[in-house]
Amino acid sequence: MNDHDQDFDRSAIAVLRGFAMDGPAKAKSGHQGTAMALSPLAHVLFSRVLRYDPTEPSWFDRDRFILSAGHASILLYGALHLAGYPITVDDLEQFRQLHSLTPGHPEVGHTPGVEVTTGPLGQGFANAVGMALAERTLRARFGPELCDHFTYVIAGDGCLEEGVSHEAASLAGRQGLGRLIAIYDDNRITIDGPTSMALIDDPAARFAAYGWHVLDLGDAGEDLDTIEEALRAAALVEDRPSILILRTHIAFPSPSLVDTKEAHGLAFGPEAIAETKALLGLPIDESFTTLPAAIEGYAAQRPGRIDAREAWEQRVAAHPNRALFEAALAGVDSAAIDAALPRFTPGESIATRNAIKTCLKATAGAIPGIITGSADLTENTGVSLDPADALSAENPGGVQLHYGVREHAMAAAMNGMALHGGIVPLGGTFFVFSDYLRPALRLAALSKAHVVYSFTHDSIGVGEDGPTHQPIEHLSSLRAMPGLELFRPADATETAYAWAEALQVDGPVALVLSRQNLPVLEGTSRDGVARGGYVISPADGARATLVATGSEVSLCLEAQRLLATEGIATQVVSMPSVGRFTRQDLAYRTSVIAPGVLSVSVEAGSTFGWGSLCDLQVGIDRFGLSAPAPAVFETLGITAHVVVDLVRQHLTEQGAR
C-alpha cells in the first residue's frame, strides 16, 4: 500500500484543490470547500480503485461513481480531466458558463464520465442503490464474465439528512447489495453552520441498523493509504452494502477558512487562494495549474485501463449469452413487443390497472432487462409479473422487486437502474402518491431516464378512500413537466398501445390507470394513441366535439348517444396523451378538433390547461369526497347528463345570438 508514487499523489491532490478554488472563483459562483476537502478521496478513487476507460466513457462494465453531493461538481470535473476523459482545462475554465461541459451540478448525458444528474441532495445516493441493483441483477442473469463491477457514491451531511436516503439505505440493506460502497463525507458543516445545530444522528449506528457494513475511518481525510485500504476491504463484503464514514475538514488546507460555514460556498477570494496555493506548492499568480507529475501519473495508467476494457469486449464476443445480453443492453425489440401485445374484445369490462398486468405478462419475454415492482401495491397497480420470482439478496436474478412503502426511493432507484443500462424498470403506486416521488420523477425527465410508472387509482373513481386518495391536480401538474410522457388510456386496448409506446420512449413515461372497470371500446387506434389524440367516434355534421381522457371517454360516448336522440350530432375524441397531441402538426390537430366547432373537454380532474385546447371544460377544481364512486361522480358533476346539458345550453345560446 505504501509503494505509491508520492510525487504523483501530492501533485494530483494539489491540482484538484487548485481547480476547486479557481473554477468557482472565475465563475463567481460555486462551492469550493467541499471539493478541496474531498480531493484526496477523489484521487484515491480515480487512481487506485475505480475501473474505467476514459477513452470509452460508456464502457458497460466500468465501475459507477456518483457524486451525490453534486454541489462539489468542480471536484468531479477536475478528476475526470486528470483521468483522461475528454474534459480540457478550457472546459474547467468555463465552469458554470453557458453550454459548457462543466455545469453547476453534474448532468448525465452532458458531461462524459457523469453517471447521474445530481444536486438535489440524497438523490444520487438513492440512484446508487438502483445502479447496484441493476449490476447485481444482470450479473445473476448473465454471469460475471459480462457484468462484474462496483457502484461508489460520495454523500454529504445533506444527503443523509434528506428522507430519500433513509428509504434507499433501508432498501439496500434488505437487498444485501454487497457491491454498493458509500463514502460519507462527515465535514460537519452546512450552509447555516455546524451540523450539530440540526443533526445529532449516529451515522454508524443508523447504517448498522439498516444492515450495512460500517467502517468508521475517523479523521483520515488526508490519509490516502487508510482510505484505499478501507475501500478495498469494503469491496470484499459481498453480502451487504458498505459505508465508510470519513471525517474531513471543509476547505483544507486553507489557513483561514478550514471548518467554516463560509467555505461551503464561494469563500475564496484572491488572498485566500494565494495563501492556500502557497501551501500546496502551486504558483500563486496562475490559475488552473496542472503539474506534470499529475498528468503523467494518470496517463501511465491509461494503457492498462484500455486493456481491461478490450479484454471484456473479447469475453462478450465469445460468450454463449451474448445475444440475450446485448438485447438487454438495447432495451426492447419494438417488433417483438407489437407481436406480443394482447388483444381485448369490445364489450368486455376491464380496469386499465388490470389491463397493464395482462400487457406486462404478454410482453415480458421481449424485455430481457425487465424489473417490475411497486411501493407495497403490487397487485393493486398491475405490476405483478411473477410473484414467485422476487428479486432479493436470496434471488438476485429475480424480476419482481418489493420496494416497500418507499415511493421516493423506488423512483430514485429506478432512475439509477435505467441510467446504469440493461434494465427497463417499471414501478407502481397510486397516482395521488406521485407527490411522494415527484423529485425523482423530475430528475428522470431531466436525465432522460427510461423509467415507466404505473400510476393507478387515477381519479375520484377511488371512491370511498376519499379526497386524500383522489388525485385532482395531478394530471395537469405532471403534464407541465418537460420530458415526461403521460398517457391516460380510455380502455384496455389503449392501455396496450400506450404500453408499447412507453417501451420506446427516450425518457420517463407515466401510465395513469383506472381502479374501476372500463368498457373495451370500438374505434380505438394504435396510430391515434401514438399521436396522443384521435377521433374515436366520428359523426357527420358534428356540431360539437367532446374531448376526453381515461374513464371519461366512455362517458362522452354515452353523452354522444344521448345528444344524437335530440338531433345534435357530436364527435368524440380520445386524448390519452395531451403532450403528444399538442406536438402534432397543425393540420392533424385541426382534423381532430375542428376550429369553429364547439369543443368540450371532459376529465375527472383539474381543468387547468384544457382552455388552450377546448372552448368549454367539464372537470373538478376542488378536492374530492369520500363516498362510493358513482355518488362522487354524480355529486361533482362528471356525468354524461352534465355534458349533454352543457352542450345543449351552449348551442342554444349560440343560436339565440
Distance CA 404, CA 428 (A): 11
Contacts of residue 320, defined as CB under 8 A and 6 or more positions apart, other chains included, come to none
Contact predicate 212/172, CB 8 Å: yes
Our separate counts of H helices and E strands in the chain read 25, 18
Contacts of residue 637, defined as CB under 8 A and 6 or more positions apart, other chains included, come to 618, 620
- Quick check: bond before 112 cis, omega within 30? no
Distance CA 362, CA 337 (A): 9
Q: 72 to each of 87, 156, 286, 538, how far by Cα in Å?
A: 17, 10, 22, 58
At 44, the amino acid letter reads V
Give me the helices (H) in 341-396, please: 352-363
Contact predicate 410/126, CB 8 Å: no
DSSP label at residue 390? B
CB-CB neighbours of 602 under 10 Å:
29
Three-class DSSP labels, 438-504: HHHHHHHHHHCCCCEEEEECCCHHHHHHCCCCCCCCHHHHHHCCCCCEEECCCCHHHHHHHHHHHCC
At 334, the amino acid letter reads S
Q: Cα 92 from chain centroid?
A: 27
Three-class DSSP labels, 179-240: CEEEEEEECCECCCCEHHHCCCCCHHHHHHHHCCEEEEEECCCCCHHHHHHHHHHHHCCCCC
Distance CA 248, CA 271 (A): 23
Asked if 348 is an active-site residue, the reply is: no
Contacts of residue 303, defined as CB under 8 A and 6 or more positions apart, other chains included, come to none
Distance CA 373, CA 437 (A): 15
Which one of the listed residues 407, 494, 501, 603 is annotated catalytic?
407
Cell digits of residue 260: 467554516
Q: Give buried/exposed letters for 527-557 (b at 16+ CB in 10 A, else e).
A: ebbbbbbbbbbebeebbbbbbbbbbbbbbbb
Helix (H, G, I), strand (E, B) or coil at 517: strand
Q: Which residues are catalytic?
A: 407
